[in-house]
Chains A and B, each alone.
Chain A
Amino acid sequence: MNVLLWVVAPYIALTVFVLGHLWRYRYDKFGWTTRSSQMYESRLLRVGSPLFHFGILVVLLGHVGGLVIPKSWTEAAGVSEETYHVVAVVLGTIAGVCTLGGLAILIYRRRTVGPVFTATTRNDKLMYAVLTLVIVLGLAATVMANLVGGGYDYRATVSPWFRSIFYLRPDPALMAGAPPLFQLHALSALLLFAIWPFTRLVHMLTAPIGYLTRPYVVYRSRDDMRAGSRTPRRGWEPSR
């Protein structure tokens, strides 16, 4: 059971994540977009969207810090476990609440603004459900661990397990002992990674960082376009 949950599932999710993106990129470049709904409504979006996105970026950084960087490194840098823990919990909770608040506004907006709701596909709904689940569980795990117990040192269990997956020496035992909320959070995250390439979340992978350095005006030659009898590209839907 442990092997199934903490070894097989992560590898499946990872494989689907990577191959899924490759496949989607080749097959569906045209569908690779944020599908912004700002045209329909921007008052709620203007609050909710930055709140959510900046929140989740901080959360992401926090996860990178907590999962990828081994405890021994931070300690070697002179950061004690207590300091680390306090900073992580405070920042994490603030960012988590922002993210969740932003998400709540966005979901409320999706549901109540007519045009936005009509433009919501089933795919989007599934994505929203899983995403909310992951965020709620993650926030709950942090809050519960610190309210009930004196905090949980996930850097002794969850993080080494996470890294062990990438070393190709997975160690399920580490995860088996973690509190259930942490386990659920990890599992739901795996689910999110597995559906990721098939949802609009793909836009994150093409975050336009290159914009900061490229020249303003882009020139391209006609020759760059694929030549000859290329396969016809996707067309558009006629207006009603």
Chain B
Amino acid sequence: MRVMAQLAMVMNLDKCIGCHTCSVTCKQAWTNRAGTEYVWFNNVETRPGQGYPRTYQDQERWRGGWELNRRGRLRLKAGGRLKKLLTIFANPLMPSIGDYYEPWTYDYDRLFSAPATEDTPVARPRSLISGEPTKITWSANWDDNLAGGPELAPGDPVLKRVSDQVRLEFERAFMFYLPRICEHCLNPSCVASCPSGALYKRSEDGIVLVDQDRCRGWRMCVTGCPYKKVYFNHRTGKAEKCTFCFPRVEVGIPTVCSETCVGRLRYIGLVLYDADRVAEAAAVPEEKDLFEAQKSVLLDPHDPRVADAARRSGIPEDWLEAAGRSPIHKLIFTYGVALPLHPEFRTMPMVWYIPPLSPVVDVLRDTGHDGEDAGNLFGAIDALRIPVGYLAELFTAGDVEPVRAVLRRLAAMRSYMRRLNLGQEPDESIAAGVGMTGEQVEAMHRLLAVAPYGERYVIPKAHAEQGAQLEELATGCSLDYAGGPGMTGPFGEASGPPAPVAVENFHALRQRQAGDELDEADELRGRVNLLNWDGKGTPEGLFPPKRKRQDNS
């Protein structure tokens, strides 16, 4: 047993309101630069829908992730090593900018410079790729809220896998949002695809990163990732991906997307896993067994044998303790409500999802039933083949039973808690019906509904011995200075002397975060950087100055 620690996330889809705040704050922090205009490390898609980039889930087309070869061994779906090297000069499976979308800006200047005429001047869209006037035909969330429904939704590769009748009903019946970031997989196919070895999984916390100095722009990782969460910066010629906001989590504060999530639906914590068993578990022959296999790789931090093995593998004591308190472990095992996204890609994704019950509740309400009655809900979960089938295609490789079980638990929690809210006697039978106790249901409700910051995010700090160096890790955040190096270097886009990148003192931020005061930290004054703005206090320049209230008494 080789124990390793992994930072993982759970998102509770019932609470996502599709506001895109997470996407926008992430973009502000990480990808507001030339070359990454089209890049959203965090994106929120409406399901059913085509997703971003379009139809990325269709691995017959994009060939991301792993498959089993004839001998039952894992192999990259896009082909072996030799094939990769032979197609290196023109990767046949790489999405083009059109599959994402062509980023644009507007001719804002025209609004001011146009001569005075009868008509109001218009700002026309211009492509950020070619600089030419363009027509906007697609974007990262073009089919948001089922926009273009009957035409676009059938392009959803997941919908195509559910039967025809189901498809029709589904489009009428429901819709939900799916926020996505890089899964920081246990068996990352992006890492395996990189010819230069520039992508790596951090052995301390499992975060998957691209070494910008070693990336040579071979673009194989873009193909390798089945979630299409590695992006090619077309100006610097390097791959970039979600970093799990490592400068933040290293000091114990959550990622930007979690911090700013309006629905407060994200949870971050550690899981321990047995690194020796990953390959074996990812290679189980039946796709439907992958979900259980993935769970079996994760270890119980409360098991003394695991703790011993973890110590022997060099996992520090406070990390072990944090793993014991991890909300992720609770949601996957104790409450059993979190499911992985597309386990059939065999990458062992580590961002888990609590499937939404609200579509079922909506159907009940719309048909005049009581959407909080346990009996009604259970009946509906069993009867509504559509949502359950679709969710199963997303989360369990098509196996409906685990999805049903989760939805039942959520339904039971709903009716159990309603009784409490209405001041009625708690009904143990509801909890027992889904294999839980009333106490457990209440604890789960607390974690899902009202848990405070410190319970939703249990993130141990990177080790103090390394503190001094981590503190100064330059993250290259582009917001830090105005001009940027630009195309100044003699060798084109990415060359030239290093530009000064300000170093933010995240430890100070951590203190602010944990404290109750709404004061302003000196080191943040005058600069607004969403990468480390925590929502507390009002950094100068973020909001217009407050006007003094007139005293008119």
Contact = CB atoms under 8 A, between A and B. Distances in A.
B37 interface: yes
Interface stretch (B166-174, B193-201, B301-309): B193-201
Interface string B75-92: 010000110110011111
Contact of B492 (A35, A233, A240): A35
Contact of B203 (A35, A219, A233, A234): A219
B34 A239 contact: yes
A192 to B, nearest CB: 16
Nearest to B232: A39
B504 to A, nearest CB: 12
A212 B90 contact: no
A211 B218 CA distance: 12
Interface stretch (B233-241, B260-268, B385-393): B233-241
Given A30-B213, A231-B498, A236 B35 contact: yes
A36 B94 CA distance: 12
A139 B84 CA distance: 30
Interface string A61-78: 000000000000000000
Contact of A211 (B81, B130, B492): B81
A212 B83 CA distance: 10
B196 A206 contact: yes
A41 B489 CA distance: 25
Q: Kindly state the interface size class of chain A when it binds its partner.
A: 35 or more
Dominant secondary structure of chain B at its interface with chain A? loop
A32 B217 CA distance: 9
Contact of A222 (B202, B474, B495): B202
B37 to A, nearest CB: 5
A17 B181 CA distance: 43
Contact of B490 (A54, A123, A212, A227): A123
B232 A36 contact: yes
Contact of B498 (A50, A208, A223, A234): A234
Given A114-B130, A229-B472, A234-B498, A28 B491 contact: yes
Contacts of B88: 208
B215 interface: yes
B105 interface: yes
A139 B480 CA distance: 51
A45 to B, nearest CB: 5
Contact of B216 (A28, A32, A198): A32
A150 interface: no
B356 interface: no
A33 B216 contact: yes
Given A29-B213, A236-B34, A236-B476, A214 B494 contact: no
B299 interface: no
A238 B484 contact: yes
Interface of A: 24, 28-42, 45-46, 49-50, 52-54, 114-115, 118-119, 121, 123-124, 198-200, 203, 206, 208, 210-212, 214, 216-223, 225, 227-240
14 contacts: A30-B213, A31-B489, A35-B217, A35-B493, A36-B218, A49-B90, A50-B90, A53-B89, A118-B131, A217-B188, A218-B194, A233-B212, A238-B33, A239-B34
User: 9 closest pairs, A vs B, by CB?
Assistant: A208-B195, A35-B237, A31-B495, A216-B192, A121-B492, A33-B237, A33-B217, A29-B213, A227-B469
Interface of B: 32-37, 76, 81-82, 84-85, 88-92, 94, 96-97, 105, 128-132, 187-188, 191-192, 194-197, 199-204, 211-219, 232, 234-238, 462, 466, 468-470, 472-474, 476-482, 484-487, 489-501, 503
Given A33-B217, A218-B201, A238-B33, 13 more contacts: A28-B491, A30-B495, A36-B219, A38-B219, A39-B97, A39-B234, A40-B96, A52-B89, A53-B89, A115-B97, A200-B492, A220-B201, A239-B33
